[in-house]
Amino acid sequence: MDTFPFNREFRLKILAKCLDDKWMAGHAGVIKPEYFEQDEETAFAKALLEFRERYHRSPRDPMDIIELCGGEHSTFIMDMYELSEDWDLSLAADFAVEFARQQAAKLAILDGVDDIARGDINKVIERMKQVVTIGQHLDSPGIDPIQDVNEWLFDYWTDKVPTGWRHVDNVLEGGVTPAEMGIILAPQNRGKSMGLINLGYNAASLLMGLKVAHFSQEMRQQQVAKRYAARILFRFPQRDDDLYEYAEELVETARRFLKGQIRIISGKKTTGQIEAHLDALREEGFDFGLIIDDYPDLIEPIKHYSDKRFELSDIYEWMRGLAEEYNVPIWGASQGNRASLTKEIITLQDIAEDINKASIADIIISLCQTYEEEQTDQCRLFMAKVRDGKNHDVIQCKFYSEQQAIISVKVGKIAINKNGRDQDVEHK
């Protein structure tokens, strides 16, 4: 049985409030047709939102809504316009988000019955997490860059997480800011995972001493652990080694050079499973300051589309939201397209599958290496995108694959021709 404030009268007041263009501009993502219980209410909400999607404002003429409803519910629609002028809608406006969350929760529970029967509890958890986020964008009043200068200016650089590559950190003015997402871009088998290992190691080292949550979608936990061990000891364990001696040396060296910790979680994961892992880590006291995912493209998409690139956009949007939710930087890796295999400089246009990744990420560093450079243990890190800084710097690095170490050496400027060939390099 309905009880105030979410009864029939309240729902009508919400619909009437939706005709307030200024209010609806902030609540368009909050109010949805499925939250209403009677056909005329649902039809009105659907037509109103369709009008807003087309013209970016609420309809002033009731005939527009009537037409979008196919001529049905005309009396109800005319009444709604009169009510929007006559009723006091203040209370409805104040409770709109709570109404939306409650209705969304009911739908999530109903939709989850079959999932629970199939044992797929993660889909139910994912739906309920989405319910909690409804209306969150309305919680913050924002900041005034002048009046609130003390809230942003002095702390802007203090929380940055360095990459550990000195010349990269100079370009980034200290590192990556919490809630930002970075991507390592490279062709297949050209060092993407190795680059992420270095980022994790550097964050956990004496430089920062952070706890690092490292998710691997394509390698087993043991393989990732082996790479971290190689980075710490500067050599991989070999089958014929005295493994007890290697283990003892690894523990002792880590005790001296790692102030933080690294936790590796492997296997393909849904977004819900990854969030559950992160919540579990926080609950046990593993307060991570950096998240790494070695291949976000393999994460189970939130929603399936006929076109794969839309799924990837959703995944990367979710990842960036994850960084914001936990207020830590997040690093991932993306594969370059086939053309990038022969390029000296890998740019944003070389991103495989979905170029929209470039607009979502805050920082994109491409790992470039010619055959000649591979033979001489060298590579270059190209600053393909820095949202809040300089783009297109090139950092020369030593590249020791057998030791899993990438060490920056110097930075330079570069001009790129249409074939991705570097020209006029001037190093600093």
Give me the mean pLDDT over the 25-35 stretch.
Answer: 88
Nearest to 215 by CA among 334, 299, 125: 299
Does the pLDDT value for residue 114 go beyond 50? yes
Helices (H), 118-220: 121-132, 149-152, 166-171, 192-204
How far from chain centre, in Å, is Cα 200?
18
Q: For residues 418 and 44, give the distance between their C-alpha atoms in angstroms, rounded to a whole number.
A: 52
What type of residue sits at position 305? Y
Check residue 369 and give its pLDDT.
94
Give me the mean pLDDT over the 383-396 stretch.
Answer: 91
Q: What is the DSSP string of 36-47?
A: --SHHHHHHHHH
Check residue 5 and give its pLDDT.
57
CB 357 within 8 A of CB 316: yes
Q: For residues 386 and 163, give the distance between their C-alpha atoms in angstroms, rounded to a whole number.
A: 14
Q: Return the biggest CA–CA distance within the chain.
A: 85
pLDDT category at 412 given cuts 50, 70, 90 is: confident
For the segment 36-82, what is each residue's pLDDT rounded down to a tens digit?
A: 999 999 999 999 999 988 888 889 999 999 999 999 999 999 999 99
Cα torsion for 302, 308, 310, 311, to the nearest 10°? Answer: 20
Q: For residues 381 and 394, give the distance between their C-alpha atoms in angstroms, rounded to a whole number.
A: 6
Neighbours of 344 (CB within 10 A): 18
Element (H, E) at 367: strand 363-368
Does the pLDDT value for residue 359 go beyond 80? yes
CB 104 within 8 A of CB 85: no
| 11-50 burial code (b ≥16 CB/10 A, e <16) | bbbbbbbbbeeeebeebbebbbeebbeeebbbbbbbbbbb
Check residue 416 and give its pLDDT.
57
Q: What is the pTM of this model?
A: 0.72
Token pair 């330079």 is found at 412
Query: 174: phi > 0 → left, psi -120 to 50 → alpha, else beta; which?
Result: left
DSSP 323: H
Check residue 414 and give its pLDDT.
62
Q: CA 414 → CA 265, 339, 423, distances in Å?
A: 38, 20, 6
How far from chain centre, in Å, is Cα 181?
6
Q: CA 37 → CA 68, 93, 131, 298, distances in Å?
A: 19, 19, 18, 39
**Six token digits for residue 101:** 């969350």
Token pair 């368009």 is found at 28
For the segment 198-256, what is each residue's pLDDT rounded down to a tens digit?
A: 999 999 998 889 999 999 998 999 999 999 999 999 999 998 999 999 999 999 999 99
The percentage of the chain sitting over the pLDDT mark of 70, rounded to a whole number, equals: 94
DSSP 236: -
Q: For residues 279 and 321, give the distance between their C-alpha atoms in angstroms, rounded to a whole number.
A: 15
